[in-house]
Amino acid sequence: MKTKTAALIPLIALIAACSSITPGNDLTVVNAERATQLALDTFNLIEKTEYDVYPALKLTNPTVAGEIRTFVNKIRTESPTWLLSARDLTKAYKSNRSAANKADLDTAVAVLTQATAEAVKYIALMAQTKAH
Amino acid sequence: MATAALIALIESLVPVIQNIIDWINKAKASAAQSAEWTPEQEAAVDAAIAKLDLNPEVWQKSQPL
């Protein structure tokens, strides 16, 4: 499972950074905004998917259901802080594009990217388990 | 599997698949973003983040996809 997540992280990072940007815009800011939007949409998707799937999943595969519920609870309680941190650091970087602010923003984006990759892995797992 | 049970299973998958399709379209839109957000876009995202609720029922039922 960890291997699958590790494989997804570059993919998610690629989604968040795969297209070129309009001249005059800052790639660091655009990538941070892409990662923030993707994380927000993905966290919403996993919350809704788990809500739809959990009753059936608990009956058919309680171990997987428990593992997914633990992760979804972590997203529910911690992701608002992660997202707010990314937004605050994006704004801080836009007002002062220093190397230190860029490093802080890159760290916040990495946290979002890791959590997004893990969420995608669990969404795929739920879809597969539900279909069987 | 009886036809009725099969239909029920497939029907139960529809909202999950639809949500995933919506997510794919949003992921494509995020990937295609080529400029920094406008102030309006920033405000919309900040408002969405501010609305996130730690209560599972509230989040799972009310957050817009």
| pLDDT tens by residue, chain A, 132 residues | 555 566 666 666 666 555 678 899 999 999 999 999 999 999 999 998 888 888 888 888 889 889 999 999 999 999 999 999 999 999 999 999 999 999 999 999 999 999 999 999 999 888 776 555
Residue of higher predicted confidence among B55 and A26: A26
Residue of B nearest to A29 (CA): B36
> Residue A93 corresponds to which tokens in the numbers above?
């970087």
CA distance B17 to B49: 24
Which of B10, B23, B51, B53 to substitute to test the interface with A, most A CBs within 10 Å?
B23
Contact A31/B at CB under 8 A? no
Residue of higher predicted confidence among B9 and A113: A113
Reported residue count of chain A is: 132
| ipTM topping 0.90 | no
Inter-CA distances, B38 with A127, B33, B34, B43, B45, Å = 35, 12, 12, 9, 11
Which of B22, B28, B49 to substitute to test the interface with A, most A CBs within 10 Å?
B49
pTM of the full structure: 0.84
Residue of A nearest to B44 (CA): A37
Q: Which of A19, A3, A8 is nearest to A115 (CA)?
A: A8
